[in-house]
Amino acid sequence: MIAYLVLVHRYPAQFKRMFKSIYDPANHYLIHVDKNSGPELEADIRRFLRGFPNSAILQSHHALWGGYSLVDAELRGMAQLLEMGADWEFFINLSGQDYPLKSQDEIADFLKRNRGKEFIKVLDQRKLRPDTMKRVSRYVIEFEKRIVRTPFPRPFLTGVVPYIGNQWMIVSRRFCEFVCHDRKADRYKAFYRNTFIADEGFFPTVMMNTAEHGEIVSDDLRLIDWVPDGDIKLRPRTYTAVDAPELMASACLFARKFDALVDDAILDLIDDRLRADEAPLPMRPHIPVPVHLSAAAAPVAFLAS
């Protein structure tokens, strides 16, 4: 049913706890450990995964925030998951500091009821996020340890509308096959390789300017509290036990981020919720709202808040 890709760069104990909370033998799991984190972390996680069928490690590469290397990890992960099994329908990416807010049964039920939909945030970058256009209008070079943002301008892809969202998504196998293997996706890969924070723009732009996908719902089903953080402007706030009512009431499937070294009580509370023998919490209804799109793109629905 589900193929999970989890990106890990620290906190192995917290990752293991999260992995157990999302594990189901019917799913497939692939873990990428940032090469910058050192071989010990990857070796630890390899040992842990031996006890879980349908799990594997993606070859470790350097993954740098703001760089195309994060998109590369996602694409390599999608491609390997496609090879791991022909039975999954949905791809979900997570970080090691995410946590589910619903049980696997609830998540599977929700996805069964929403077959044919792609859950990914999509915003017209020029119209709604013009402050981010420098990410794609200036040439960027990524090295293993740093990113160089040059002053050299470059035109955007001809005939393509730039979109932006964030890194997280729940998308169909059909879209994964297209973005990994179809030559029509190559021009997007070539362009975004030299952009800044490519992971927030690459997948929304590909999906909104091509046709190999289902109905697009502009929601990634993640509960994230974005707070100011200097020049970066926004970062996800770390949830603690005081946020339990909001987390328990949310219709989102996952939340980020958590830090067990700051507060592991909130993870205990969520685990209690996931283990509880009770009826699933009601899911938020989605209400389609038409928006203006390019001819290649499918209609977009926005989930009601």
**Tokens matching residue 294:** 């390019």
Q: Which pLDDT score is estimated for 300?
A: 60
d(CA 199, CA 31): 18
pTM of the model: 0.90
How do the pLDDT tens digits run along the chain, 305 residues long?
Answer: 899 999 999 999 999 999 999 999 999 999 999 998 989 999 999 999 999 989 999 998 988 889 999 999 999 999 999 999 999 999 999 999 999 999 999 999 999 999 999 999 999 999 999 999 999 999 999 987 889 999 999 999 999 999 999 999 999 999 999 999 999 999 999 999 999 999 999 999 999 999 999 999 999 999 999 998 776 578 899 999 999 999 999 999 999 999 999 999 999 999 999 988 444 445 544 444 434 344 344 456 545 43
Partner residues linked to 55 by β-bridges: 29
Residue 137's H or E segment, with its range, is helix 134-137
Radius of gyration of the chain (CA): 19
Instruction: Determine what percent of the chain falls in helix, strand and coil, rounding each to the nearest 5.
Output: 35, 25, 40
**Cis peptide upstream of residue 16 (ω within 30 degrees of 0):** no
Q: Which pLDDT score is estimated for 1?
A: 86
The candidate with the shortest Cα–Cα distance to 97, out of 13, 200, 221, is 13
Biggest alpha carbon–alpha carbon distance for the chain: 58
Distance of CA 189 to the CA centre of its chain: 17
98-100 and 254-256 beta bridge pairing: antiparallel
